[in-house]
Amino acid sequence: MHRLAVALCVFSAISSHHLAGSTIGFATCSGSFRVDTHQVEGHATLFEGATLETMAYDSEVELTRASRVALAAASRGRVFRDHFLLERGRAEMEGSPNYSFEALGLRLTPVGPHAGVRVALVGDGKLQALALDGALRVSVADGTVVAILKPGRALEFQPQKETGAQVPFEMTGCVERRDGRFLLRDPLTGVVEEIRGTGLAQQVGRMVEVTAVALEGEKPLEGAQEVVFVRRLRRVAGSCPAPEAAGAVPAKPGAVPPAAPPAPQPGMSAGAKAAIAGVVIGGAGAGAVVYWKIKQNEQKGTISR
């Protein structure tokens, strides 16, 4: 994954068996930064839940959990042993499934040992995310998966007041049949749901828009996130992607999806929307996360993996 050519600040977190108490590491910086509202020059000790805030320059955070977090200028977040909570601005992480980003009640977890994610908090309570070298799984507090981004894919997320599997959702996708049951595959979010309801057989191979609710306690087909009951269905324009090879089944949740086309550019035209588990998801406008890295590279150059 491409990273900053110059690391102005380095925040290193060390596991608890190395340092006593709740100390998780230390921070060093060639310039000024803030730790828990205190302006710091040079270095500082970090504790669990410490707030880190950049000022005029980008900073780089290094974690012993095989993760690296880069913070853009004027950004703020809190560092924990297993996740980084972004509160303002933009950040990038190269990490592992053991470390994740959190923001706006969403958890963004890289899938695979070398996966990475770039995120940006923008106006009106929105989060933009770009999957880098590997795939990215996005979920809400109760663990419901709302998107699986393939490498190079960017989406915009806007959580509503209520989130979770119990919230009715809307999604558009292709109806598939397998083992006498039905799946809905959303090309926007990468989410696959097993769907139940009336008249589904007539919709196989078609793009439809559904309003549905989760059925608790039901075991979904392999590869589906959950079982949902379709309350409303209507056909929409568009064609289904090419069918999978014979014998292929959807990937298990958490599995690494195949590679995707290069990252979409700012102002992407994909205007489709989905509302899954109380999170409105769209492809249009998710360009800030791309622009930040382009600007970094123009100013400082790029070093390769």
pLDDT of residue 124: 82
- Give the pLDDT of residue 290: 60
Sorting pLDDT into bands at 50, 70 and 90, what band is 295?
Answer: low
Strand 192-196 and strand 227-235: pairing? Answer: parallel
- Report whether pLDDT(41) > 60: yes
What pLDDT does 267 receive?
A: 33
Look at residue 249 and tell me if it is in a domain: no
**Which CATH number does the domain housing residue 16 bear?**
2.60.120.1440
Read off the pLDDT band of 239 (50, 70, 90): confident
Q: Which of 84-93, 227-236, 246-255 has the lowest mean pLDDT?
A: 246-255
Q: What is the DSSP letter of 198?
A: S
47 with 103, same domain: the answer is: yes
| CA 185 vs CA 95, 164, 190: distances in Å | 28, 19, 7
Domain around 114: 3-160+260-270+283-303
Is residue 80 one of the residues assigned to a domain? yes
Dump pLDDT digits (tens) for 134-176. 899 999 998 999 999 999 899 999 998 888 777 888 999 999 9
Confidence of residue 38 (pLDDT cuts 50, 70, 90): confident
Do residues 287 and 139 share a domain?
A: yes
Is residue 141 located within the same domain as residue 289? yes
Which pLDDT belongs to residue 285?
56
% of the chain at pLDDT higher than 70? 68
DSSP 194: E
Query: Same structural domain for residues 176 and 122?
Result: no
**62, 196: one domain:** no
Whether pTM > 0.95 for this model: the answer is: no
pLDDT at residue 305, as a whole number? 30
Residue 176: which CATH number?
A: 2.40.50.500
Identify whether residues 21 and 72 lie together within a single domain.
yes
4-26 tens-digit pLDDT: 333 345 555 444 334 445 677 66
Residues 6+ apart with CB under 8 A from 184: 171, 173, 174, 175, 176, 192, 193, 194, 195, 208, 210, 228
Q: Output 74 or 262, whichever has higher pLDDT.
A: 74
Residues 6+ apart with CB under 8 A from 262: 152
pLDDT at position 268:
32
Highest mean pLDDT among 1-10, 40-49, 233-242: 233-242
Residues 6 or more apart in contact with residue 246 via CB below 8 angstroms: none
Q: Are residues 12 and 85 in the same domain?
A: yes
Burial class (CB in 10 A: 0-12, 13-18, 19+), 132: buried
Instruction: Give the pLDDT confidence score for residue 169 in this predicted structure.
Output: 85
| Model pLDDT, residue 27 | 67
Mean pLDDT of the chain: 77
Q: Which amino acid is at 244?
A: E
Q: Are residues 46 and 93 in the same domain?
A: yes
Confidence of residue 263 (pLDDT cuts 50, 70, 90): very low
What is the average pLDDT across 121-125? 88
Residue pLDDT, tens place only, 173-210:
999 999 999 999 999 999 999 999 999 999 999 999 99
Residues 289, 207 share a domain:
no
